[in-house]
Amino acid sequence: MAEQQKFLIIDDDTTFTRVLARAITKRDFNVKVASSAEEALETIKCWVPDLVSLDLKMDGASGLTVIQPLKATNPAVRIVVLTGYASITTAVEAIKLGATQYLPKPVNADDILLALEQSDADEEVDIANQPMSVNRLEWEHIQKVLNEHDGNVSATARALDMHRRTLQRKLAKHPVRQ
């Protein structure tokens, strides 16, 4: 009998993790849940996953900080990064760090497993018929500059020549739709 694949869910949303863990377990995976990047780093010291669902924005460290340690413990690990705060910058960084896929929330177990199974790029992917809105371009630019300043809001505000409180209000809002 083949050994069950190990699936690690790293997310601080307890309702989402409970539902996802149940759905993934029903699909015959050995599932563990970590509610923070720090807890995930402790978990992988004694339990090495084959597949990972990783939330980008959690209390404490960003989900991006877990990707390289996961790859170090298992170079073949497949990681899907999930986020409700999708931006081009974070998607690029996640992939550069070694994530397999990047999905905006909301998602379900089938979406996640499909993304983890997909190994080739899709050259038939739909291309938007119209460019991003000005508000979405602003959001993307803020995310890029924030990433360049390692998440430091004050340094980002100075670089954007924007008051820090204004930037914090913009960051507290959900990203603008395309």
- The answer on pLDDT for 22 being more than 60 is yes
State residue 26's pLDDT score: 94
Token pair of 177, please? 């739709």
- The answer on pLDDT for 66 being more than 80 is yes
- Residues above pLDDT 70, as percent of the chain: 85
> Domain limits of the chain?
6-117, 134-172
Q: Do domains 6-117 and 134-172 have the same CATH topology?
A: no
CATH of domain 134-172: 1.10.10.60
Instruction: Determine contact, residues 78/52, Cβ cutoff 8 Å.
Output: yes
Tell me the per-residue pLDDT of 80-122, one tens digit each, with 9 for 90 and over.
998 776 677 777 788 888 888 888 877 889 989 988 887 655 5
CATH of domain 6-117: 3.40.50.2300
Cα–Cα dist 67/172, whole Å:
25
Cα–Cα dist 62/128, whole Å:
29
Let me know if 123 is exposed, middle or buried by CB neighbors in 10 A (0-12, 13-18, 19+): exposed
State residue 93's pLDDT score: 82
State residue 158's pLDDT score: 92
Mean pLDDT of the chain: 84
Lowest mean pLDDT among 27-36, 72-81, 109-118: 109-118
Cis amide bond preceding 106, omega within 30: yes
**DSSP 8-state class, residue 9:** E
